[in-house]
Structure 1
């Protein structure tokens, strides 16, 4: 049997916190009842084991405080629950896909995703995804007897964004990591090549991110907070290259296409980001030689110039602080080198 996933329209995300939020106020006439039993009955698609894992991970609060699974709920208790989304009902085909695993232990693994690979199967991409490869890989693990091949996908990055992802290998690890994402305790650093040169060397973008009314695949920034969800991106300049700039972005939140939408919002769309207007010349000269140079760069990196460089978090079991970093993929580094040579030799 293959893995089970949620049958949804797959929108590729910078980071997606795979979390449900439930809030209950216990009825006045409620009799004393163990909280794990109460929530198993109350939360759709949940199991007793899943609920107990959430409680043990500290993701269930009663009147603002963590409780144990044997806590007896009382009338008018206020209960808040944070849980990863349940596995649903579409089979995932296990495929022997090469995975660049840079770290693995009994509880999690860190994968360096190449550009062009979809993270999660969905309409139009049922095979060849990272999850298809993970299902196959997990099924081959001799150290995990009885493992069903369920990859603990806690967050995602876009198909054409390269870089690091953390994958949980047990439900308790998945719940804990999802909790860290939900509370913004994960350190995430991206490198992006953007059009133009920002006036400042660093800054913070605070603007809600939500879907465009004109095109549901595109996200827009709403600085007045009238639509979308709260989003914060911290950025700083790494290298100025005349008509483009290499920047570092640190995410405080993880909204769909957050970096791409935020950088467009401040007038610096990502280089060759077709969805956000970066696939045309935004800065530079009108000379034919320059236009040819830009097209060569686009051909060399036919995607948005965005790479998830580093990932830091607390290990869900050992509580050790973990940090991982990866180098730029060749397409990104080659385009950077071309820009550096252009700035050096084209005066």
Structure 2
């Protein structure tokens, strides 16, 4: 268990690719059960609460609350767009612009668990916004540093895929299979501590195989 920061109110940790944030599947480990077990082993109450999520195939940094009050305050920061999230993603499209802002309207298909782009006048649509910059490139690959402003279902994945730039390894959205995990990592989160109000920021280095050829590899 890679715990990066912990106090009485919050717990910041690295989620490996392949582990769900929270699941109802009996017998399948998820971050909530792993962290609750970690707290129980220390003699603390297993009170982990989910504030935000990462898709199961995505790696990266997460914060969990250890009380309902902390969870409520962190959730409000996300709703008010003062909780910052940054991601690294690798695509394999050489002609992709070096920076930009992507704005789309998304609908989640609950039957397939996929998201799709729709018109802005669709009553089901949710606005999705991100900004990105290319920070490295090698062979036919580009490494994007992404500021995520809205946390829609599969947002980064579908917004890139619909521009014929799917993330490496994202076979659900047309990406090339590499035999490795999806090349998407939540590398930074920033927020105000739910009790003290202190500005906090945390970073991780991607561990996925496809990141190892990049300049950000540890």
TM norm. shorter chain > 0.5? yes
- Considering fraction of residues, name the structure with more strand: 2
- Tell me, in whole angstroms, the C-alpha distance in 1 between the residues paired with 2:204 and 2:137: 22
User: Residue 136 of structure 2 contacts residue 214 of structure 2 at CA under 8 Å; is this kept in 1?
Assistant: no
Matched with 1:217 is 113
Corresponding residue SS for 1:132: helix
1:170 — aligned with what? 67
Residue equivalent to 2:151: 254
CA contact (8 A) 1:196 1:242 kept: no
Q: Please state if 1:327 is matched with 2:205.
A: yes
| Secondary structure of residue in 1 paired with 2:175 | coil
Report how many residues are paired: 214
Q: CA RMSD in A?
A: 1.9
Tell me the residue number matched to 1:103. Answer: 5
1:116 aligns with 2:21: no
1:106-161 deviations in whole A, cap 9, x for unaligned?
Answer: 110101011111111224x642111111221222334x4xx3x1211111101110
- 1:313 matched residue in structure 2: 191
Shift in Å at residue 330 of structure 1? 4.6
Q: Highest CA radius of gyration, 1 or 2?
A: 1
Q: CA deviation at 1:225?
A: 4.5
Aligned to 2:31: 130
Per residue, is there more helix in 1 or in 2? 1
| Structure 2 runs not aligned, ≥5 long | none
Task: Within 5 Å, give how 1:13-92 maps onto structure 2.
Answer: none
Which residues in structure 2 correspond to 1:197-276 (within 5 Å)?
A: 197-212=94-109, 216-226=112-122, 227-276=124-173
Per-residue Cα deviation, 1:213-235 (whole angstroms, up to 9, x for no partner): 9x622111225342421110111
1:332, distance to aligned residue in structure 2 (A): 3.4
**Separation of aligned partners in 1, 2:208 and 2:156:** 21
Secondary structure of residue in 1 paired with 2:200: strand
Q: Which has the higher contact order (CA 8 A, sep 6+)?
A: 2
Shift of the 199–332 alpha-carbon distance from structure 1 to 2, 3 Å rule, reads closer
1:23-73 deviations in Å (ceiling 9; x for gaps): xxxxxxxxxxxxxxxxxxxxxxxxxxxxxxxxxxxxxxxxxxxxxxxxxxx
Residues 126 and 156 of structure 1, relative CA distance in 2, 3 Å threshold: farther
Contact 1:204 1:232 in 2 (8 A): yes
